Amino acid sequence: MKYVRSPLFRVQWLLQLFLIALFLSIDVGENLQAIIAGALLCTVGIPHGANDYLYREDTTGLGLVAFTVMYLGVMGVYLLLWWVLPIAALAVFFAISFHHFGQSNFENGAVWHMPSILWGLWILVFPVVIHWEEAFGIFADMTGTAAAADGVIGISGHWAIAVITGGAYLASLFFAVKADRSRYILQFTLVSLWYIATPLLFGFIVVFCLWHAMQSFQHQLDHYKKSTSGSTGAFVKALIPFGIASLAGFGVYVYFRGFEVGEAFILLSLITLPHVVVMHRLYAAGSAESETSL
């Protein structure tokens, strides 16, 4: 079943609508924001790539070792890039993120699928332009450069970027998406309202977990059941080892370092790069199977 026609999509937009209403009707303080964000990160956000090893070509124990070494190796090389060329590393993080968010939303195996690209851009660009100074400060922390947000572009420039990006995405729906436009427009509207109503970090964490991690989990589960005839219980059981490892690693980081936003995003980028490669292969395989069935 196509993602936007699935029960999950209905749950997502209803939950997003509830959260918007909650945030607009009561004072959701920082403590409650931290609880909601922490719960989402620990249940879906951080663990949603913990089953990447299930999709390796060599399913033997030696294949698992090789996969793990390769996975950690990619993270190590990317960490080195952050150390040597942090601005380039940040650019890579943006590129893989908007590709990954868009690809998962449209379950599309192509690299250049315009609605996917523009949706991924919107997810990242819109919260940045409406929280420009705060976002620019985070980027400065990540790259070790001096923040210089003032004077880069004015407020009208920020909103011009938002209007152009959002308008381009909506236009792409009418030109490139034949079905389910109303569902994608509903998603766009709710996410945009959420970003406007919420602080930068909290708003992004909720969108990341609710509109990406959950959907990614659903696609992985569908792929797992179809390719292995395994059950949901087996999928969840397979998630436990690396899921606990990722949560433990995050817990150790927070214990010793606190929650440094810039550092946390760098850690996220290290996990994201190999995960994007794995998921791209899954979406590409799924697109190939759909075309074959037609």
- Domain boundaries of the chain, sorted by first residue: 12-22+30-289
CA 136-138-143 angle, 5° bins: 95
Check residue 152 and give its pLDDT: 53
Residue type, 237: K
Can you say whether the dihedral through the CA atoms of 203, 204, 207, 208 is positive or negative? negative
Give me the half-sphere count of Cα atoms (radius 13 Å) on the Cβ side of residue 267. 16
Rounded Cα gap, residues 214 and 12, in angstroms: 9
Rounded Cα gap, residues 197 and 37, in angstroms: 15
Total Cβ atoms within 10 A of residue 173: 20
Check residue 148 and give its pLDDT: 52
Q: Is the pTM of this model over 0.85?
A: yes
pLDDT of the chain along its 294 residues, tens only? Answer: 588 899 999 999 999 999 999 998 988 888 889 899 989 988 999 888 899 999 988 889 999 999 999 999 999 999 999 999 999 999 999 999 999 999 999 988 777 889 999 999 999 999 999 998 889 899 999 998 765 555 455 556 778 888 899 999 999 999 988 889 999 999 999 999 999 999 999 999 999 999 999 999 998 998 888 888 889 999 999 999 888 988 898 888 888 887 788 888 999 999 999 999 999 888 887 665 554 444
Say if CB 98 and CB 121 are below 8 A apart: yes
Rounded Cα gap, residues 122 and 106, in angstroms: 14
